[in-house]
Structure 1
Amino acid sequence: MTYLQQPEVAILNVREKVNNSLPLKEDIFKLLDMIGAWKDIFADKNKRVLLKPNLVHPMHSGSGHITDNRIVFALAELLLEIGFNEKNIVLGEGCGVGFAFATQNDTLNCVRAAGLEPIKDKYGIDIVDLNKDKAIEMDVPNPLVMEKVKIAKTVLDSDILINLPVMKTHIRTGVTLSLKNMKGVLPGLEKRKTHKLGIDEGVADLNSLVKTTLTIVDGIVGMEGNWEYPRDCVPMGILVAGKDLVAVDTICSKIMGFDPRKIRHINRAAEKKLGIMDESKIIIKGLQLEEINVRPFKPRFQCFIEDYPNVNIVDEYACTGCYSSILSALVYLKEQGQKEKLKDLNVVLALYTDEPIKDLKGKNLIIGLCNQKFKDKGLYVPGCPPNAIEMIKAICKLCEIDLQVAL
């Protein structure tokens, strides 16, 4: 599916549907009608449809953690009403929590918690755990980091992939929307590949191989910060849809209060020509950005770093790559019981000049390719993004932490 030069993104106000169980069927129909989806995407009723929600945790619908089940049920009803056969519709997800451990949460537990299990009995629609589905290894076109990757067979067998993410912040990618939601099509341990090779580039590679046909973003209740329910819920009362997932993620990032140019994986996807992120070329239908009365989401990085009062972050223009790497290193050291030793640590992210660090006192960790010109200002860890293990080693050296204990 080729991207459009002027993609349309529809935004619908559903504020009256926040924190209740009112159905969304009419809203979903109207939303998709704004972008002409009923006439083109769903013209051929013999096509196989995959509904791909975001069910990363076993949480209830409406929590902001997962896709509101009313969106899924509304789509199921509408597709059946316009002539699709229930045998050609599948609800598929591969949850990101506990997939490697039989005793922990699996996808079907997430489906039950979300209240989606009745979709089988009520509509005859099969539920597939993509983590346990047959995996097919595929070549990635023009790869950034992943030359080959395994994809769940159910995904590859689908003609129409409907991507159903939630508006959330993310500790490693800044935001998690339609591009990031596609990690659920990677079966089981294959998900770790994107983290090992570079999550932002890996997400772009994945989306160049598995193409979303239609995205509907759940902005009824979003989630910010550290995803603590109900503290970090952001009631918004909107739905967003489009055929170009890069354009959709660009607009959703703006709605959330983020500059999409600073969201690395969206940029990588645009560079791979998976869609348009130039806002001047995106046509917004329905509710306009200036009409959306939503406060900016708290970045997860901001909330997270508050848990490390002895660590001073110095930053002027760092991207999510550096953020995710330093957070991974700090989390690891905390889990190893070394948090209290992280005293007087200055972590220096991307700077324009050395002015912010001229008078710094303490232990300076200079990270990232952008800071190469300041590498003599402290202990330098190169990379774009820098390797988390190398940062752990550098922090241990600066803070006099026994490396054998830490690693």
Structure 2
Amino acid sequence: MLDKTTRPRDAVQRTAATVALVRTAPQRERVFEDVQRAMELAHWHDYITAGAEIALKPNLGWDKLIPGAISAPWVVEGVIIALKDYAGKLFMVESNQVVVNVEKVFRLSGMADICRRHNIPWVNMSRGQFVRMRDPERLVLKDVHLPEILTRTELITLPLLKTHNKTTLSGAIKNQWGCLETLRHNFHPVLPEALVDLNTLVRPRFAVMDGTVGLEGDGPKSGRPKEMNVILASANLVGIDSVAARIMGFDPSAVHHLTLCAQHGLGSLPGRFALTGDPVESVAQPFVPAAHNAVSGLEMILRQSFVERLIFKTPLLWIPAWGARRYYDLWDWRVGRKLRREFFARS
């Protein structure tokens, strides 16, 4: 039984917190056990206040259900099981995207069933109340609105082991992107700096990374699933992403937002924290890095053109948004359904 009088460690201690890496297997009960083992190895109860209300932030950013592109129900449920006798009320939170209705993903992914089974309220942060946060000293998010629920809960982020065409990998730091309002894509040109500000504002207490199935290639949406069977956990956001990068074959020190976040006290790079559990070498598999697909590539071109403001900051945004959605529908018809079929045939 955990000692419920334990107080969470401060931000300085979290900066150098241990990262746990645990190998697992594709069986539901085994995943539950290994999620709890990873969390214990990373001393999760040292960073979460006993009895506190907790917001769980999975990655539900895609409705095509490509394995590895969104959070797996087993890992999320494993975290809930580990928390339920220690924490207070739990919430599951996520947000819409310009081209994704998260309510649809919530249902199709099985997360709605998990919330019903464990009596956990679902909060679509795009539809909730927001609180204005102003600070001229921030790097780029000097005047933003954040979901009100994140101002009164302790945040546990549940990221994925996947590539990303703008940040190399989508991990514990990038997973908070959905905590901004729907038009957050306008911060893409200053993404590393925005991630520093955002994570400073919402300050996740702990991260559990779902590496049961990774995503390589053109992530975050049009990549290819890669069975990995690993779970990572830590209160050290830069640390857990650094270990994930090494597993994927990337150099953490070459990932701009990781080095920038480390400089601003959001965690530490390898050499400044302990790694426990299984060694990286036992699970490492090179991932195909992400390139810009047609949608991301066109966005980058338009953002450097004279029509940038007209396209992205007026109601004309519906035109490229409609086009992006049609592109992904076609991609899923031509590629995505084949990837799903092949993955489940061999897994």
- Between the aligned partners of 1:58 and 1:285, the Cα distance in structure 2 is 34
In 2: Cα distance, 1:194 partner to 1:230 partner: 21
Q: 2 CA distance for matches of 1:51 and 1:27?
A: 18
Change (3 A) 1:269 1:141: farther
What is the distance in 2 between the residues matched to 1:83 and 1:6?
24
2:202, 2:49 → 1: CA distance? Answer: 21
Kindly provide the CA deviation profile for residues 92-150 of structure 1, in whole angstroms up to 9, marking residues without a partner as x: 0014353xxxxxx4111111111010233211110000111111111247412221211
> Contact between 2:216 and 2:287, CA under 8 Å: does it hold in 1?
yes
Amino acid of the residue matched to residue 10 of structure 1? A
CA distance in 2, matches of 1:49, 1:132: 19
Off by >4 Å, runs of 4+ in structure 1: 20-23, 227-231, 329-333
Pairwise CA distance, 1:42:
4.2
- Per the alignment, do residues 267 and 58 of structure 1 end up closer, same or farther by CA in structure 2, a change over 3 Å counting? same
Contiguous gaps of at least 5 residues in structure 2: 1-9, 309-347
Rg larger in structure: 1
In 2, the alpha carbon distance for the partners of 1:144 and 1:331 equals 21
Match of 1:347 in 2: none
Alignment of 1:39-118 (within 5 A): 40-42=46-48, 44-45=50-51, 47-60=52-65, 63-80=67-84, 82-85=85-88, 88-98=89-99, 105-118=100-113
CA contact 1:247–1:276 (8 Å) conserved in 2:
yes
Task: Compute the TM-score of the two structures, normalised by the length of structure 1.
Answer: 0.67
Q: Once the two structures are superposed, what CA deviation does each residue of 1:135-170 show, in whole Å capped at 9, x if it has no partner? A: 111124741222121111111110x21100101111
1:120 aligns with 2:115: yes
The equivalent residue for 1:3 is: 12
What is the number of residues matched between the two proteins? 298
In the alignment, the residues of structure 2 paired with residue 151 and residue 79 of structure 1 have an alpha-carbon distance, to the nearest angstrom, of 25
* RMSD, aligned CA: 2.7
How far the C-alpha of 1:329 sits from its partner, in A, is: 4.8
1:30 partnered with 2:44: no
What does residue 245 of structure 2 align with?
253
Post-superposition offset of 1:285: 0.5
User: Which residue is 1:174 aligned to?
Assistant: 168
Query: In the alignment, what sits opposite 1:381?
Result: none
Out of 283, 299, 316, the residue aligned to residue 289 of structure 2 is 299
Q: In terms of mean alpha carbon deviation, does 27-36 or 225-234 score higher?
A: 225-234
Distance 1:59 1:211 in 2: 30
Task: Give percent identity, aligned residues only.
Answer: 24
Give the deviation of 1:7 after TM superposition: 2.3
Structure 1: 5+ residue stretches without partners: 99-104, 308-323, 334-386, 393-407
Could you tell me how far 1:3 is from its partner in structure 2? 3.2
- Label 1:231 to 1:84 Cα distance change in 2 as closer, same or farther (>3 A): closer
1:234 aligns with 2:226: yes
Paired residue secondary structure (1:138): strand
Q: Which residue of 1 aligns with 2:152?
A: 157
Match of 1:44, as an amino acid?
A
Structure 1 partner of 2:179: 185
Q: How does 1:237-316 map to 2 (within 5 A)?
A: 237-277=229-269, 279-292=270-283, 294-301=284-291, 304=292
Q: Which amino acid aligns with 1:186?
A: L
- Distance change in 2, residues 1:186/1:224 (3 Å): same
Give me the whole-angstrom Cα distance separating, in 1, the residues matched to 2:220 and 2:274. 34
The answer to whether the 8 Å contact 2:69/2:220 transfers is no
The verdict on how the C-alpha distance between 1:143 and 1:331 changes in structure 2, with shifts beyond 3 A counting, is closer
Shift of 1:24: 2.2
> Residue 117 of structure 1: SS of its match in structure 2?
helix
Aligned residue for 1:102? Answer: none
Tell me if structure 1 keeps the 8 A contact 2:170–2:220.
no
Structure-2 change in CA distance of 1:75 and 1:8 (3 Å): same
Letter in 1 for 2:278: L
